[in-house]
Structures are given as structure tokens and as C-alpha cells.
Amino acid sequence: MHDILNDTIASAPLWAIVVTGVATLLVHAWDEKSDKPVFWIALAGIGVSAVLTIWRAPVAGTAYSGMLKTGGAASAWTLLFLVATLLTLFIAWDSLGKAAAPRGEFTILVLFAVAGMIPFSAGNDLLAVFIGLEILSVSLYTLVGLTRRRFASNEAALKYFLLGAFAGGFFLYGIAFLYGAAQTTNIEDIARRFAQSNFPVLFLTGSALLLVGLAFKTGAVPFHMWVPDVYQGAPTAVTTFLITGGKAAAFGAFVTVFTMTLGHASARFAVVIGVLALCSMVFGNIAAIPQTDIKRMLAYSSIGHAGYMLIGVQTASVEGAGGVAFYLLSYILTSTGAFGVVAAMENEQGEGTRIEDFAGLGYTKPLLGALLSLFLFSLIGIPPFSGFFAKYYIFLTAIEHGDLWLVLIGVATSVVSLYFYLRVMVVMFFRQPGENQPVPEAGAWTMIAVVLSAAGVIALGLFPGTVLDLITSVF
Amino acid sequence: MTFPGILSIVIFLPAAAGVVLLGFPRRHREAASWFSLGVSCAVLVLSIHLFTRFDSGRSGMQFVEFIPWVSSLELGYRVGVDGFSLLLVLLTALLTPIVLVSSWKSIAVRVPMWNFLILIMETGMIGVFCALDTFLFYVFWEVILIPMYFIIGVWGGEKRVYAALKFFIFTMAGSLLMLVAILWLGWYASTLPGGRFTTDVTRLFEIARTLPHGAAVWLFWGFAIAFLIKVPSFPLHTWLPDAHVEAPTGGSVILAGILLKMGTYGLVRYNLQMFPALAVEWAPFFAILGIVGIVYGALVAMVQTDAKKLVAYSSVSHMGFVLLGIAAMTTEALQGAILQMVNHGLSTGALFLLVGMMYDRRHTRMIEDFGGLARVMPVFATVFLITALSSIGLPGLNGFVGEFLILLGSFRSPILGTPVYTAIAASGIVLSAVYMLWMYRRVFLGTVPSEAVGEMRDLDRRETGLLIPLVLLIVWIGIYPNTFLAKTSSFSRELTNTLISVRDSSVLRPSGVDSTNTNNP
């Protein structure tokens, strides 16, 4: 009894989200039009969870017989998810309201997705990781298909579901191999036996299969097929959630499973993940160039960013893990900001996301135009915005780790990325608005999210020290 | 040292004013312009104060400030000036208000945005010259890209999108190489016994000299390519004519007047001071780049039909002189190169302003569209003549002093070892007389081709006012350059002494092999 109580306290952030999720579900079941109470309950739940996370952060340990990591690094990941969720909810309130999409269901599903993200990224046992992955994935499949009547949304959901189920199968198969080799599903035990093993074929096979599942979730090349279609087809609010929370969860799990544990067991992974990083950076940044839709362009660019983060993952070091977490924080803020502006540009049918539609935005809506430019500059990695420092730190850890080749590729692809990011600014500032171009109306909640993100991007860019020290101290 | 010291105020005042500007109500466009002008004048006054208080007898950095920034990575806000950076800070502070005044009428749309961008850029430019931390240097270096991109793209000519993009991609490609070099250098510091990752320039000066030769070559070029693109040196100069032709007048003045100097500043500060042995080794190569630039720029300038393009190519030629002066590595040549950076900022800045005034009146820059302006606009013609002669290097004006010092220094340079470079470079002066005077003849002498040209009005008070300081300085430096040379002499002497001693020691032994033990910090 005492154990259960302690475990529950230690994993209180997760419980707060689960309880909020169930509560909102009940409230919404009671009254179908209760979008607003559901929204407020969700905000409160996220706030409580955040406070609990910070409260538990100094005490790193495990709960439920070593199934879950709590405190420490787990807190860092949880906070990232909560930030992403909070900002996404703000944007979704306006954006889904405009599209007359079910906001209540969205909020509930997002909460359940977070309930999956936490064990996915903080699992100490492969079963916990897998259960987290499934809770997260099922919620996301449903979210992608949220706007039932839109063909693109349906297509995206189906595509994501089929490919995701397939990747989930790989992941499970990998767990089976590792269990066969190590007779345990505890990640640290597996890593220990792996390192001692004379004949690690089973370990390698199992880990490689795990790697496929994780690389799929992060959207790294060559497991990226779903990314452009799903990101473009999903409602913008959902895309925001996928690109921020979804990516953070995937990298959290990647770091927990590989960088901190299995990565130490074999140096082979560094090369494999390095190649994934290389392919993602090159492909993502080149394929983004010909895109005409900003959501699709940002989707391809997110593949490139996955590549940059994988550089940090493959170093299998504390600095690398901290670098990834910092990069994610910066990326979450930047992406929610950028997608917030995109969501404001959309009309009721989810149209208006072509890059052409942004013509003259810098003059019709100077604030939105300036903020979107700020986010894009941060994505390029130009100081004084947070994206620059994030890249700087990742490159630094790679150089310390002796991976100059990855840094050079990263630098070269950053130059390539200039082309498509700057093009958006060309359209926004160097062209006049079209004749019957709709003038977007950004809702108050969207503006709050976008301005908060911008403040975060600037603050993290100018004074990255404190946050960086906090993040690196927990790994 | 208490923060903010005077240097920090000079650096950040423009940016702070820029942020204030964002809060200005949209109706008060005039107020925004006056406010920006006031701030930039205040910065000018402060930097003149800096200039007078600067002790030219002391060597090393002055007005040094330091605040830890990201302490776990040893990144710091480290700034300070020596005579070399001081002159460039002063040049920046001088040109910014002039640019603001010059664009008073020609920039008619989005005025607050223009002012905002110019002010942000001023912070970036002064920051580049004052940064004593590689990370900080990189941040300022990149901060400049964004406003310049918008300046070309929003107020530029017809092909502005192409020009802005080309400018951005060229510069960014170079600076990212520099970023890798900065990271590698910092990491190298942490591999030394007892070392930590660092970006402190003064420490890196020592540390970089202990680098093994192979690694040092890569780092040297990582820095050098970024700077050569910015200079721009042949064959990396192709972005410059496009950027200049498309940029609005104010943008061109800043681009030619200050941004190009960031390249040569970087070459001296990083390539020469940090890697003296390699700089000596590669000096002939840089000298060749310099003279190719001189001759090529001049020849291309000669055949231009567009006055602005002519001035743009003359920049390539003039910056070639600076490059040669840097490569010669004698005190005279280096002094000349530093002075020539300032000279080029003044005279080319003035030339771009003057061409811009022609354009404002006739909306063309084609040389053939003008003629006989000396009769129509006598004041304008006089100022133009002075500036053109300064650009050619007429004795008594500033260009002569700089070019003469460079030629003298490179002629006697023990590092170049042959006067051939000087001989070829000297031909550049002749060529510059050809293209400048030929343009002058076609535009100002002869018959007035059309009624419209005949009705061009002479300079108004605003235009005269903004040219006066430039002309005064052109004459001042021409007659008494010592005001400025005195500030940089100790810097130049020390740097050339280091270079010569490095050369002498590397004659005795292969460079960089056993210096590891002697120079360990």
C-alpha cells in the first residue's frame, strides 16, 4: 500500500493528466456542447501537472517496480509536452472553432495523447514504452481524422494509421527479440546484458527493430513517408500538436531508449543513427524547396530538423541528450508560433495555406508577418533567435564527440534551407497582396500562443544559459 | 567594469531605439524618422567621445567589458576596441545618420520599418567591430543579414528578390563555415591540458598558435572564406553588383561603406592575428586575390553603362587594394589598408549617395541619359568631382594617402618579397582614373542631351548638408591623416612585428610543429 502511494506521488504529473482526461471525457459525455468547460478543465489540468512536474523534478527515480522513470529527465520531457500541449490548445480553440470541428473531442484526445507521451518517453521498461506508444498513437490517429468530412483529413488518418501500425509492429517485434536475448524488458538490464554479450546478434536485431519504430515516430528518413501527407492533411491544430508534442515524445523515447542506455552498449548505433541524421537533413531540406503549400513545406523541413536532433541523439552523451531537449524546446516554440500564424491564415474549409496566399501579409497584417518571419529565421538558425543556439549547441556536442562530418552536412543543409524559408518572406514582404485575397483574422487565443512563443524564442535566443543548464543538469 | 559601459551604450542604443520605434503609432511617420536620426546622432557623438578618450599610446584593447553569458559554455559578452576597430566604429556611427538623412525623401513607403532596420543594423555593425568573443562576433555578424535582406528586398529595384536571396545565401554559406571553425577552435581549447571550451578571442589568439598545422589550415580557411565572400574578393564577388544595383541608395551606402569592411576587418582580426604563421604562408595568395580584384574590378567598371554598377565594381577594385595592403604585412601597408577601409567608406559612400541623387531626379542611372550636368547642377558637379578624385587617389585627398601607403608598404614587403604585385596594383590607379574621369566626362561635360536633364535642380539644403561631413573628412584625411593613423599605429606595428617574427622563426623550422611547447597558455 505504501509503495503504491509513493509511486503515485512520484508519477503525479502523469496522474494529473490522466485524471483530467477522464474528467473532461465525462463532462463532455454529459453535455455535448460543453467545449468551453472542457477547455478550461484541460488548461487547469495541464497547469496542475506542470506544477507537479516541477515539484518532482529534483527527485529522480523509478515507480511501479521500475516500469516508469520519474523526476529528473522524465520531468524535462513532461514539461516539454505540457508546453507543447498548452500552446496547441490555444491555437486549436480558434482554429477548430473556425472550421466548426469538435473542440471538445480534440481537447480530450490531446490529453490522452499526453498520457501516452509520458510513459513513452520516460519508460524504464520496454513494455511501458510500448504501452505509451500505443496510447499516443491511437489518440493521434483519431486526431488526424478529426475533421471527418474533409477528404484530406481522412486520407491522412488512414495513411498514418496503416504505416503507424506497421511501425508499431516493428517496435513490438524488437521488444520480443530483446526479451529473448536478455530475459527481461527492463531497458537498463537489457543494456547491461547487451554490453556483456559475446554474441549480440539477437540484441542487435532487436535494437534495430526498435530503431525502426522510433525513427518512424520521429519522421526520420527513410521512415518519413507519412510525414508530408499527414502534416498537410490533418487539421492545422492537429499538425501543430504532431510537430511539437509528437516530435518531442518520439525524441524523448529515442533518447531514453538509445542515448541513455542502449547507445552505450554498442558503438554501431552511432553510425546508424548518424546516417539517419544525414539522410533526414539532406532529404528534408531539399524536398522542402519545391513545395507550394506552407504546411507541406514545414512538414518537409521538420524532417530536416529531425535530422539535426538525431545528431545529438547519436552522440549517446549527456550533452547530446540535453542538446536534443533544448532543441525540442526551441522547436516547439518556433513551430507553434509558425503554425499559429498558418492557422490564422486558414479559412473555414482549411484553405489558404498555399505560400501564395501569404502575399503581402507583412503589410496587411504587419504583426503576423513579422512574427512569422521571426519564427522562420529561428528555424533557419539565425541569431539572436533560439533556433540558432539550439543548432549551435547540437553542433558543439557533435564536434566534441568527433563527428565533424555530420556538422558539415548540417551546415550545408542549413544553407539549402535558406532557400525555402526565405521564399515565404519574399512572398510576405517583397510582394503586394493579391486582389481578392482574404485578410486573416487571428483569434485572441491564437495571438496569445503566437506572442508567447515569440517571446520564448527571443528569450531563449538571448539568454539560453539558465534553461540550458537546467536541462543538462537532469540528464 | 560596470555594465553598461560607454561601449555597450554605443552598441545597443540603436537597437533599443529600434525596439522603441516599434511602439510608435503609425500616424507619426515624421516623428519616427526624427527619433531615429536623433538616436543615430547621439551614437555618433558618443563614438567621437570614444575616439577622443582612446589612448593611442597604449596597446591592446580598451573600454573592455565582460559579462558571463552562458557560463557553462564559457560564452561571454566580451567587447572592447583597439585603434583598428575604433576607426570602423566611428565610420559606422558617421554613415548611419547620413544614410537616414539621405533616405528622408527617397524612402517614401514603410518609413518606420526602414528606420527600424537601419538602427538594428547599426547595432550589428558596431557589435561586429567590438566583439571580443567569437560567439558574440558570429551573433552580430548574422544579425546584420536580416535587415539587409529586407532593405534590398522591400525597397530594391526590379530584380530585388533575386539580389536579396543571392546576398543572403552567399554570406550565410560563408558564415556557416566560420561557425564550424569557431566551434572547432573552442573545442580544441578544451582538449588542451587544463583547458575548457572557450570563445574568448584574446585567449584564442594564444591557443590558436598551438594548433597542429593540418587543423590550423582548415580553420584558417573556414574564417578566410567567410571574410573573402564579404570583402568581396574575386571570384566570390558575384553577389555584390547584383546587391548594389538592386539596393536602395541607403542600402548601397551601408553595404559598400561598412559591410564590406567587416570582411577585411575579419581577415585582419582573425586570419592575421589568430593564425599569423598561416597568414604569412598564404600572403602571396591573398596578394594575388587583391591585385586580381584591383585590375578585374577596374576593367569591368570601365565598360559599365549604369553609373551605380560602375561604382559597385570600383568597390571590388578598391577593396583589392585593402586586400593587398593586408597581405603585404608591413606596418605602412597595414596602416594604409586600415585607412583605405575608412577612405573607401567615405568616398564610395559619397559616390553612391551622389548617384542616388541623380536617380532621384531622373529615375535612371544610365550614364548615356545624362550630360552637361556641370552647367545644370554646379554644386553637385563639384562635390562629385571631389569624390571621384578622392576615389582615384589624387594627392591632397584621402584616397591618395591610403593607396600610397599600401603601395609603399607592399613594395618593400619582406613577406611578399617582390615588387611585382605593387607594379600591377599601381596600374589599378591609372585604370580607376580612366573609368571615373570617363564617366565624369560623359555625365557632367558636353551637351545637355534632353530638356528633362536641363531642368534637373541642384542640391537642396538637406542633400548639401549630408555631403558636407563626407567631403570635409575626405579633405581632412588627405591633408592630415595622422589624426586617424595615430590611433592605429601601435596596433599595426605590433601585428606586423608578430608576423615578421613568425616568419623568421618559420624560416628556421617547419611552421607550427614544435611551437606547441613554447606557447602553451
CA angle B185, B187, B188 (to 5 degrees): 65
pLDDT of residue A285: 94
Chain B: residues touching A (Cβ < 8 Å): 69-73, 75, 110, 135, 138-139, 142-143, 145-146, 149-150, 153-154, 160-161, 164-165, 168-169, 172-173, 176-177, 179-180, 183-184, 186-187, 190, 197
Q: What pLDDT was estimated at residue B195?
A: 81
Q: How far is CA A251 from the centre of its chain?
A: 7
Q: Which of B70, B71, B139 sits opposite A383 (nearest CB)?
A: B139
Angstroms from B69 CA to nearest CA on chain A: 7
Cβ <8 Å between A407 and B186: no
Q: Report cis status (omega within 30 of 0) of the bond before B235.
A: yes
Alpha-helical regions (H) of A315-385: 318-345, 361-364, 366-380
**How close does chain A come to B70, measured CA to CA in Å?**
4
- Nearest CB to A418; choose among B71, B172, B180: B172
Contacts of A382 in chain B (CB under 8 A): 142-143, 145-146
Q: Which residues of B touch A392 (CB under 8 A)?
A: 135, 179, 183
Residue keyed to cell 506497421: A166
State residue A264's pLDDT score: 67
Q: Other CB atoms closer than 10 Å to residue B71's CB: what's the count? A: 11
| Tens-digit pLDDT profile for residues A5-63 | 888 888 999 999 999 999 999 999 988 888 899 999 999 999 999 999 999 888 888 88
> Domains of chain B: which residue ranges?
297-487
Q: In which band, very low, low, confident or very high, does the pLDDT at A1 lie, cut at 50, 70 and 90?
A: low
Spell out, as residue ranges, where chain B has pLDDT lower than 50: 509-521
Quick check: A353 pLDDT over 80?
Answer: yes
Question: 3-class DSSP state for residue A34?
Answer: coil
Cα atoms in the 13 Å half-sphere on the side-chain side of A112: 20
Looking at beta carbons, which residues of chain B come within 8 Å of A474? none
Task: Compute the distance between CA of residue B311 and CA of residue B252 in angstroms, rounded to an integer.
Answer: 10
Which residues neighbour B112 within 8 Å (Cβ) at sequence distance 6 or greater? B21, B22, B24, B26, B29, B32
- Reported as a pLDDT band with limits 50, 70 and 90, residue A295 is very high
Query: Minimal Cα–Cα distance from A368 to chain B, Å?
Result: 14
Mutate to test the interface with A, among B75, B110, B142 (most CBs of A within 10 A): B142
User: CA nearest B333: which of B293, B286, B389?
Assistant: B286
pLDDT at residue A376 tops 60: yes
**Closest chain B residue by Cα to residue A400:** B187
Q: Which residues of B touch A429 (CB under 8 A)?
A: 150, 153-154
Smallest Cα distance from A195 to chain B, Å: 28
Task: Count structural domains, chain A.
Answer: 1
pLDDT at position A200, please?
80
Of all residues in chain A, the percent with pLDDT exceeding 90 is 60
pLDDT in tens, B341-392: 999 999 999 999 999 999 988 888 899 888 888 888 999 999 999 999 999 9
Nearest to B183 among A388, A396, A464 (CB): A396
Q: What is the largest CA-CA distance in chain B?
A: 77
Do the Cβ atoms of A472 and B72 come within 8 Å?
A: yes
Q: Which residues contact B235 (CB under 8 A, 6 or more apart)?
A: none
Q: How far apart (Å, rounded) are the C-alpha atoms in residues A379 and A304?
A: 10
Give the whole-angstrom CA distance, residue A312 versus residue A302: 16
A62: three-class secondary structure by DSSP: strand
Which residues are B65's β-sheet partners?
B79
SS3 per residue for B394-405:
CCCCHHHHHHHH
- Going from the C-alpha of A269 to that of each of A179, A207, A263, B201, the distances in angstroms are 19, 9, 6, 37
Chain A contact residues (CB < 8 Å to B): 363, 377, 382-384, 388, 392-393, 395-396, 399-400, 404, 407-408, 411-412, 414-415, 418-419, 422, 425-426, 429-430, 463-465, 468-469, 472
Query: Per-residue DSSP letters for B42-70?
Result: HHHHHHHHHHHH--TTS-S-EEEEEEEEE
Q: What Å distances lie between residue A462 and A381, A385, A387, CA to CA?
A: 13, 7, 11
Looking at residue A354, the DSSP 8-state letter turns out to be B
A vs B: CB pairs below 8 A: 88
| Min Cα separation A404/chain B (Å) | 9
Q: How far is A464 from chain B (nearest CA, A)?
A: 7
How many residues can be counted in chain A? 475
Q: What is the model's pLDDT at position B235?
A: 86
- Coil, strand or helix at A153: helix
- Who contacts B260 (Cβ-Cβ below 8 Å, separation ≥6)? B230, B231, B232, B240, B315, B319, B344
Crossing angle between the packed helical segments A73-98 and A12-30, to the nearest 10 degrees:
20
Question: Which of B69, B70, B184 is opposite residue A399, by nearest beta carbon?
Answer: B184
N-to-C CA span, chain A: 30
As to burial, measured by CB atoms within 10 angstroms (0-12 exposed, 13-18 middle, 19+ buried), residue B185 is buried
Per-residue confidence (pLDDT) for residue B403, from 0 to 100: 92
Residue B3, pLDDT score: 67
Using one digit for the tens of pLDDT, what is the confidence trace for A455-474? 999 999 999 988 988 888 88
Q: Which residues of A414-434 are buried (b: 16+ CB within 10 A; e: fewer)?
A: bbbbbebbbbbbbbbbbbebe
Instruction: Please report, as a single letter, which amino acid is at residue B315.
Output: S
**B71 contacts in A (CB within 8 Å)?**
465, 469
B153 vs B168: CA distance, rounded Å:
11
Q: What pLDDT score does A319 carry?
A: 87
Interatomic CA distance for residues B376 and A132, integer angstroms: 82
Give the pLDDT score at B521.
37
pLDDT band at A266 (very low <50, low <70, confident <90, very high): low
B178 → chain A, closest CA residue: A411
Length of chain B: 521
What are the backbone angles phi and psi of residue A123, rounded to the nearest 5°?
-70, 140
Break chain A down into helix, strand, coil percent, rounded to 5.
80, 0, 20
Residue pair A13/A53 in contact by the 8 Å Cβ criterion = yes
* Contact (Cβ atoms closer than 8 angstroms) between residue B148 and residue B255: yes
The whole-number pLDDT of residue B55 equals: 87
Inter-chain residue contact B176 with A415, CB threshold 8 Å: yes
Helix A35-56 and helix A12-30, axial crossing angle in degrees, nearest 10: 170
Provide the 8-state DSSP code for A440.
P
The closest CB to that of A382, out of B69, B75, B142, belongs to B142
**Do the Cβ atoms of A407 and B183 come within 8 Å?**
yes
Determine, for residues A383 and B173 on separate chains, whether the beta-carbon distance falls below 8 Å: no
Spell out which residues of chain A touch residue B21, defining contact as CB-CB under 8 Å: none
Q: Exposed/middle/buried for B385, CB within 10 Å: 0-12, 13-18, 19+?
A: middle
* Residue B161, min C-alpha distance to chain A (Å): 7
Kindly report the nearest CA distance between residue B313 and chain A, in angstroms.
26
Nearest CA in chain A to B184: A399
From the DSSP assignment, how many helices (H) and strands (E) are in chain A? 22, 2
Rounded distance between C-alpha atoms, residue B359 and residue B497, angstroms: 48
Whether the Cβ atoms of residue B65 and residue B8 lie closer than 8 Å to each other: yes
Taking residues A388-415, report their average pLDDT: 91
Domain around A81: 2-474
**Inter-chain contact A396–B139, Cβ cutoff 8 Å?**
no
Considering only CB atoms, B160 lies closest to which of A392, A404, A430, namely: A430
Nearest to B72 among A395, A463, A469 (CB): A469
Rounded CA-CA distance A150/A440 in Å is: 21
| Cβ-contact A400, A319 below 8 angstroms | yes
Cell of A119: 510513459
Q: How many Cβ atoms are within 10 Å of B37's Cβ, its own excluded?
A: 16
Distance CA B141, CA B262 (A): 8
Classified as helix, coil or strand, B451 is helix
Residue B408: the pLDDT is: 92
The number of CA neighbours under 13 Å toward the Cβ of A457 is: 31
Tell me the ipTM for this assembly. Answer: 0.89
pLDDT per position as a tens digit, B439-496: 999 999 988 888 888 888 888 889 999 999 999 999 999 999 999 999 899 999 989 9
- Cβ neighbour number for residue A260 with a 10 Å cutoff: 21
Look at B71 and A465 and tell me if their CB atoms are within 8 Å: yes
- Hey, of A422, A431, A475, which one would you mutate to test binding to chain B, going by the most B CBs within 10 A of its CB? A422
Give me the mean pLDDT over the A261-271 stretch. 74
Quote the DSSP letter at residue B153. H
With CA atoms as reference, the chain A residue closest to B113 would be A366
